[in-house]
Amino acid sequence: MLMLFWLAVLAGFNSWAQSRVVSGTVLDSTSGETLIGVTVTIKGTQQASSTDLNGKFSVSIPVNNSALVFSYVGYDPQTVIVKGETNLTVKLQSASQGLNEIVVIGYGAVKKKDLTGSVAQVNMGDLNKAPVVSFDDALGGRVAGVQVTSTEGQPGVGSAIVIRGGNSLTQDNSPLYVIDGFPIEGEANNLINPAEIASMEILKDASATAIYGARGANGVIIITTKRGKVGDPRINYNAYYGFQSITNKIPVMNPYEFVKLQTEIDPLGADTIYLKGKTLEDYRNVAGINWQDQLFRRAPMSSHNLSMSGGNAKTKYSISGSLQDQQGIIIASGYKRYQGVVSLDQDVNDKLRVGINVRYTNSRQYGTPTSAGSGTQGLLYSAWAYRPIAVNLDNLLDQLYDPSTPTLDLRINPVLTANNELRNNIVNSMIANGYAEYAITKDLKLKITGGYNNNQLRNEIFNNSKTYSGGPQAKNGPNGAIYNYQTTTWLNENTLNYIKDINKDHHIDLLAGITAQGAKLLSNGVKAVQLPNESLGLSGLDEGTPFSVLSSTSSWTLLSGLARANYAYKSKYLFTASFRADGSSRFSPENEWSYFPSTAFAWRFTEEGFMKKLGFLSDGKLRLSWGITGNNRVSDYATYSSFFFDPNGGYPFNGTVQKGAYINTLGNQDLKWETTAQTDIGLDIGFLNQRISVVADYYDKTTSNLLLNAQLPNSSGFDDAYKNIGKVSNSGFEFSLTTVNITGKKFGWTTSFNISFNRNKVLALAENQNVLLSPVTWFGSYTSAAYIAQIGQSASNMYGYLYDGVYQYSDFDKLSNGTYQLKANVPNNGNDRTTIKPGTAKYKDINNDGVVDANDQTVIGNALPKHIGGFSNNFTYKNFDLNVFFQWSYGNDIINANRYLLENGGNKPAVNQFASYSDRWSPTNQSSTIPAAGSYNSGPLVYSSRVIEDGSYLRLKTVQLGYNFSSKLLSAIKVKSLRVYASAQNLYTWTKYSGYDPEVSDRNSALTPGFDFSAYPRARTIILGLNINL
Amino acid sequence: MLAGVSCKKILSNTPTDFVTQVNYFNSESEVNIALAGVYDPLQRNEMYGKALHMDLTMCDEGFYRLSSLNTGPLVYNYDATDITILQYWTALYDGINRANIFLENVDRATMDATNKNVAKGEVLFLRAYYYFLLVRDFGAVPLKLSSTKSVGEVNIARTPIKDVYAQILQDMTTAEGMVRTWTSWGYPGHVTKTAIEAILARVCLTMASKPLQDVSKYQDALNWAKKVVDSKEHSLNPDYKQIFINIAQDKYDVQYKESMWEVEFFGNRVGTSFDETGGVGRYLGPTCTDIPTGYCYGNIHVTSKIINMYANNDVNDVRRDWNIAPYKYTGSVKTLFAATNVYDRTGAKFYREYETLLPRDQFSTPQNWPVIRYAEVLLIYAEAENELNGPTAIAHQYLNMVRARAKTFQYTGAKLITDKSIFRQAVMDERARELAFEGARKYDLIRTGTLVAEMKAMSAIVRLAPSTAYPQAVRPGDLASDRNLLLPIPSRELSLNSAMTQNPGW
């Protein structure tokens, strides 16, 4: 690195030829504002200058050279021929609607107007108005065709991003991330501070993604981070501070309703616990304990970004550091991240440019996950269900167990749990990239890149004596564990790029390359129990009894060759063809290589003579593309059958445990890539000099030879194995509209809108298989399937019984002894007929056989939305700017599993219920469809449409109001710009969903989306910030 | 940069995280590890950990304690989607596949030839035993004698019952000549020569009965039983209770060796992540919710039907108040039932209060499961002898040996049985009393074609003196029908294996 600095210094000693001085001012063509830091280059040389705080520049130009190039990020570059003038006024046009804007694509970049594939640019200016720690929290609704499913609201928990619908059924559907050229498989959302992102492109169609071959089928997100630019050093400090709070609490029964319920379900217990010397009416005005109030808090959130960047024509640098500290709205939870980045670009000589970029991240996510574990361990479940009143001498808030519950019911105080369980996920990550770019000729460039990514996750768990697993009722005493997961990835890419214009009519851009990437994965850890000194925390792990040891390693390698040709004729007819060959170590030698072609054609019909008359049309392009991409998301050694040393698989001969092992996975030597063929038809059209622009796409994807963790008949000795079998299709329509509504000196208004429709359909499953049922693990008794993927239907349908209200008196014959007997012609509900009383839950007897049983299950909901979208408006008035962003999802259902346990009269004593359960059926409230209290009244423990809710929502997601101090004021104090702002995230949501938040999927997978059990709610965030440039 | 580096080399990737079958089975210790893997399914909840003495063996011995449970084999209300049945099927085929892999690879191990032969014999037997459980519960099943090697092997047809049995006999007979004796091991955790002979006697008796009714097998049953008797390795423990107290105390009965083969369980889950515990005693014992005393659900409550089998025969039978707990625990205090109280009594046999490994875990126990006892061999001998030659002296002798230990009267003198069918019934009743709650009764009723009738009889007896606390006691009998003679083929198997067919009535 030192050497590069020396080179930079040397570059300064350039001798100047005979010259004259030209000066001037650079302005924004729309607003007339002066532009600071515009690079002014003398064409054909390396000599450059930049505009000062007042937008002024001064440059000596050789007498014989008379062209200046003005370039500025976010604006179209402009070349000005200097004739005799000595004072110029140059107006640059903002590139945001410009057709000459550069769009980053795989292994290259093209002008927007020359794009043949479907590539969406994320408006980072808008996105960065959201006060979020990682970009995925703000990405939803911004780009057509991109569905961001946030599983829950815990700080630091990532979102699942699915582009144009999920292809895989059992495997990961997340896109490939390419960060500064480094492909990263799997979630990378937290690795980058969103403020560091210069541009984000989302590659959607096969013509765009096929260059990533075997990893392109899920779409690709290309992230380019900020680097230094020519100009004086710029110091930027951007900070905000604010608070998060819960948007809504779920009302639970008050003490009166609670005690009333106890008297109904457990009269004896209620008499001795609650009604000793008291009456039910005495509880009318008792405040009780609201456990949600105990668990939730107003949580501060802060962010600091400090950067310095600059450079001259040959050397550009950027250094930045950031700190994000987001405390969770649940006590003792949060996320904190430190990040430092250094980048340097250096022109060594006319032919050679080198650069590096090093990013180091340290983050800690902490706090008890609310939805993990099963059933009654769920933290929020405990908060809702915990007894709302202390009676007699109980001090419920300080007691680990509820003294009124049976000794074997380990219901745990949620506040003590949250405060005492240590759950840390600590990530240390370093990504280093370097490149060298060599111009072999003027048109032919060689680029060699190398990268190294080391990601270390340390998972720390400690349970002291005030927790579920370390408490006095658990045998193993205080316990703890440390697990380390390390992934080291290396990359080498070598590309040749030939760009040539022939006779102005023919534009040729050829690319060829060879790349290699590999990774080593290592995990290890240890758990110890019965720690004698819990005050030592994890440091005392060595004093305990070793319990279990984890250790594993694996690795993969990917070798690839790639090629692409772009050809444009008069910028009118555009052709692209690409090809990639990928060889993966994950497959056996016969199947390790596979080939991914794509082709695209675009016609810019506005370039045709006959269209030129239509002056209102500023752009019109029809795009057509087809290609094949792959998915390699399978374990590193899936082709091998493994001998599993099952900790519980031994056998205690003669009282001594003989370790046992057996083949637990059936390897598949024939495994190969999952392939997706995608066709895309798109239309880009712009009106009134691009004040209105529209992008519309229709796509059709068919994924075949699915890498399916296919079910096997158990007579094979295995449950499942990886196979290339099954077929899924996704087709859809995307529409984006961007308009510049008003441009004026004082007032400006721009709008962008997008909507996307995707239809997912299962075309084939494993041999003989018509239906793939998926259970969800959340509460022990619910073992049946909650989801169904059926041939001909969506992969994510909800499955169960149709709820049919409750049995009414008219369904019964009253017997002489006063009891009610179900009429013979009325079907049961899956339980024995004698258990059914007026007020008992009723399910539809679909097949009309008089009995409700497994054959009466059907599709009861669809987790996939009919359409999703977003709507963003930017207003400027004088120095004020306002951004208002809405996001929606329409037509998706959610399984609100909380209601199975909390609108359930059959529950155990001392379990509180949602307030909605006060409206349960009773002889005096016969119109209610909520089952009556009492042990059998909720019917069998099955999935039913009773708790399936419409998950549609419209959310006022981000609002930001900013004020820019005028540069005239600031120049006096040597400040280039100063902006103060207030932002709000998740400000208001319109939804019918009764849970905390409709954006939820805490058992998320392609087969089981939209499930809510005890999910960490999303916070409303309001912050104040400032952004200052020096 | 990549030039000169062979692509093949870069992309070759052998697993670093696990061993594969190709590089296993080299040494005696590796063979022993794989051997434990073949035994391992026996311990599962869906086998001797629970289901083979609870869910799948429910019959006229009693009924399930909770009226809230409405579905499942425990209450005779189930179908082909039942999870316990699927898991049972899965455990058996897991065991078979592990055995097949073992047998295909063991020969290349460098180890003591005798030990290798013993291990092979045990695995050969276990495979046959898993098939015996399959054919007895499911009828014709896919007979796989080699391991699954390809993910495409999904359509596997059923093999007729008699062919499955032929393979079982062949493998068990071969294994019998390969394994060690009980005495040589010194404990019954491994399969031994006489254990195989005893199981062969049981298999042959089952073949001679319904549904196969190959009566020629009575002679084989007798021969195998005789072989066990003649080995003189085993005798009856003079104290019936002590057999099960020994089991609770993790003791092997090296003196009498009445317990011939046990599925072993071990530990109390303290301070270790290894879990080799089971559920023997968790369900079948006096009801107790106090953990230090020995937590037990007491899941099977009895009716007068089983109580009368003792009382109507001999009130002095010591087995009654062991097999049916005369008390329950209230906290840690023993509460005796009133003499008239029938329905609160629970099927017992495995008493956790005798466990010596402390502290007791709430749900998991170290108690072994006795798969076959010498007493059963004597009863098989008597039954086969009666079928072949009528109620001879020798048939009486073995029946009386079992009865003498139970302190009941002897079928001698005036009580001598001369009628073959009366003797047949006497043996059946003796089996019910001797082997109560040992998972034997349901299969005895099936092979004698009396399951449905006896279940209905239990309901009828309950209706004579109905219980308000346990209205569900009549349900299993009411629901029992001929289809219960076999379990349904799991619907998962049916949907994924197109060559599979369903059993009648399901």
Tokens (6 digits) for B251: 């003791």
Q: Report d(CA A8, CA A316) in Å as an integer.
A: 9
pLDDT (mean) for A358-383:
86
Nearest Cα to Cα of residue B366 among B42, B95, B49:
B49
Would you call B81 an interface residue with chain A, using a CB distance cutoff of 8 Å? yes
Instruction: Give the tens place of pLDDT for each residue, A634-672.
Output: 888 888 888 888 888 899 999 899 999 999 889 999 999
pLDDT of residue A95: 58
The beta-carbon neighbor of A713 closest among B270, B271, B496 is B496
Which three-class secondary structure state does DSSP give residue A643?
strand
Q: Report d(CA B306, CA B292) in Å as an integer.
A: 30
The identity of residue B317, as a single letter, is D
Q: Report d(CA A611, CA A184) in Å as an integer.
A: 44
- b/e per residue A856-891 (b: at least 16 CB within 10 A): bbbbbbbbbbebbbbbbbbbbeeeebbbbbbbbbbe
The identity of residue B239, as a single letter, is D
Q: Report d(CA B395, CA B412) in Å as an integer.
A: 12
CB contacts, 8 Å: B264 with chain A: 651-655
Q: Radius of gyration (Cα) for chain A, nearest Å? A: 32
Task: Output the DSSP codes for A683-727.
Answer: EEEEETTTTEEEEEEEEEEEEES-EEEEE--GGGT-SEEEEE--E
Percent of chain A with pLDDT over 70: 95
Reported as type and span, the H/E element at residue A584 is strand A573-584
Query: Chain B: residue nearest A641 by CA?
Result: B20
pLDDT of residue A986: 94
pLDDT (mean) for A420-440:
95
Tokens 């003590």 belong to A416
- Given a cut of 80, whether residue A389 has pLDDT beyond it is yes
pLDDT of residue B272: 77
Nearest Cα to Cα of residue A68 among A109, A126, A26:
A26
pLDDT tier at A11 (50, 70, 90 boundaries)? very low
Mean pLDDT of chain A: 89
pLDDT of residue A640: 87
Checking ipTM against 0.90, whether it exceeds it is yes
Q: Report CB contact under 8 Å: B39, A667.
A: no
Q: How far is A214 from chain B (nearest CA, A)?
A: 15
pLDDT of residue A804: 94
Query: Would you give the distance in Å from CA A445 to the centre of its chain?
Result: 36
Tokens (6 digits) for A482: 């440390």
pLDDT tier at A65 (50, 70, 90 boundaries)? low
Distances (CA, A) of A722 to A520, A636, A706, A709: 22, 12, 9, 4
Q: Report CB contact under 8 Å: B187, A654.
A: yes
pLDDT tier at A1008 (50, 70, 90 boundaries)? very high
- Given a cut of 80, whether residue A373 has pLDDT beyond it is no
Instruction: Give the tens place of pLDDT for each residue, B435-464.
Output: 999 999 999 999 999 999 999 999 999 999
- Given a cut of 80, whether residue A190 has pLDDT beyond it is no
Task: Output the DSSP codes for B147-184.
Answer: ----TT----PPBPHHHHHHHHHHHHHHHHTTSPPHHH
Residues 606-645 of A with CB under 8 A from B: 636-637, 640-645
pLDDT tier at A9 (50, 70, 90 boundaries)? very low
Percent of chain A with pLDDT over 90: 63
Q: Report d(CA B486, CA A760) in Å as an integer.
A: 41
The identity of residue A544, as a single letter, is G
Among A468-477, A714-723, A730-739, A960-969, whose mean pLDDT is lowest?
A468-477
Would you call B12 an interface residue with chain A, using a CB distance cutoff of 8 Å? yes
CB contacts, 8 Å: B35 with chain A: 658
pLDDT of residue A4: 41
Residues 518-547 of A with CB under 8 A from B: 518, 527, 529-530, 545, 547
Question: How many other C-beta atoms lie within 10 A of the C-beta of residue A237?
Answer: 14
Query: Chain B: residue nearest A722 by CA?
Result: B151
Q: Radius of gyration (Cα) for chain B, nearest Å? A: 24
pLDDT of residue A1021: 96
The beta-carbon neighbor of A660 closest among B21, B37, B141 is B37
Q: In the 8-state DSSP scheme, what is residue B337?
A: P
pLDDT of residue A97: 53
Would you call B68 an interface residue with chain A, using a CB distance cutoff of 8 Å? yes
Instruction: Give the tens place of pLDDT for each residue, A839-867.
Output: 999 999 999 999 998 889 999 999 999 99
CB contacts, 8 Å: B90 with chain A: 714, 719
* Backbone φ, ψ for residue B89 (5° rounding): -55, -45
- Given a cut of 50, whether residue A3 has pLDDT beyond it is no
Question: How many other C-beta atoms lie within 10 A of the C-beta of residue A535?
Answer: 9
Residues 760-819 of A with CB under 8 A from B: 766-771, 783
Would you call A265 an interface residue with chain B, using a CB distance cutoff of 8 Å? no
Query: Chain A: residue nearest B276 by CA?
Result: A648
Nearest Cα to Cα of residue A969 among A959, A960, A981, A978:
A978
Tokens (6 digits) for A113: 């107007």
pLDDT tier at A293 (50, 70, 90 boundaries)? very high
Q: Report d(CA A562, CA A545) in Å as an integer.
A: 54
Q: In the 8-state DSSP scheme, what is residue A169?
A: S
- Given a cut of 70, whether residue A1 has pLDDT beyond it is no
Q: Report CB contact under 8 Å: A714, B86.
A: yes
Q: How far is B413 from chain A (nearest CA, A)?
A: 45
pLDDT of residue B1: 39
Give the angle B446-B447-B448 at the CA atoms, nearest 5°. 90
Query: Would you give the distance in Å from CA B179 to the centre of its chain?
Result: 21
Nearest Cα to Cα of residue A430 among A481, A358, A496, A493:
A358
Question: How many other C-beta atoms lie within 10 A of the C-beta of residue A285?
Answer: 9
pLDDT tier at A10 (50, 70, 90 boundaries)? very low
Q: Report d(CA A827, CA A392) in Å as an integer.
A: 46
CB contacts, 8 Å: A655 with chain B: 250, 264, 266
Give the angle A17-A21-A25 at the CA atoms, nearest 5°. 140
Q: What is the pTM of this model?
A: 0.88
pLDDT (mean) for A172-187:
88
pLDDT of residue A30: 62
Tokens (6 digits) for B454: 């006896």
Q: How far is A274 from chain B (nearest CA, A)?
A: 24
Nearest Cα to Cα of residue A170 among A874, A722, A779, A558:
A722
Beta-carbon contacts of residue A285 (< 8 Å; ≥ 6 apart): none
Q: Report d(CA B221, CA B201) in Å as an integer.
A: 4
SS (H, E, C) A310-368: EECCCEEEEEEEEEEEEECCECCCEEEEEEEEEEEEEECCCCEEEEEEEEEEEEEEECC
Query: Chain B: residue nearest A723 by CA?
Result: B151
Nearest Cα to Cα of residue B118 among B175, B168, B173:
B175
Contact A907, A988 (CB under 8 A): no
Would you call A438 an interface residue with chain B, using a CB distance cutoff of 8 Å? no
Q: Report d(CA B294, CA B481) in Å as an integer.
A: 37
Q: Report d(CA A851, CA A829) in Å as an integer.
A: 7
Contact A963, A981 (CB under 8 A): yes
Q: Are strands A182-184 and A662-665 parallel, antiparallel or unpaired?
A: unpaired
User: Using CB atoms within 10 A of its CB, is residue A15 exposed (0-12), middle (13-18) or buried (19+)?
Assistant: exposed
Q: Report d(CA A981, CA A880) in Å as an integer.
A: 9
Through-space distance between the first and last CA atoms of chain B, rounded to whole angstroms: 66
The beta-carbon neighbor of A583 closest among B1, B11, B147 is B11
Beta-carbon contacts of residue A357 (< 8 Å; ≥ 6 apart): A180, A225, A227, A341, A342, A343, A344, A431, A432, A433, A434
CB contacts, 8 Å: A661 with chain B: 24, 33-34, 36-37
Question: How many other C-beta atoms lie within 10 A of the C-beta of residue A795?
Answer: 28
pLDDT of residue B339: 92
Q: Report CB contact under 8 Å: A640, B276.
A: no
Through-space distance between the first and last CA atoms of chain A, rounded to whole angstroms: 26
Contact A720, A710 (CB under 8 A): yes
pLDDT of residue A111: 86
pLDDT of residue A618: 86
CB pairs under 8 A between A and B: 249
Beta-carbon contacts of residue A131 (< 8 Å; ≥ 6 apart): A240, A242, A301, A303, A983, A984, A985, A1021, A1023, A1025
* Backbone φ, ψ for residue A912 (5° rounding): -75, 165
Tell me which residues of chain B have a pLDDT lower than 70.
Answer: 1-8
The identity of residue A824, as a single letter, is A
Contact B315, B406 (CB under 8 A): no
pLDDT of residue A12: 39
A758 torsion bin: left (phi>0), alpha (psi -120 to 50), beta (else): beta
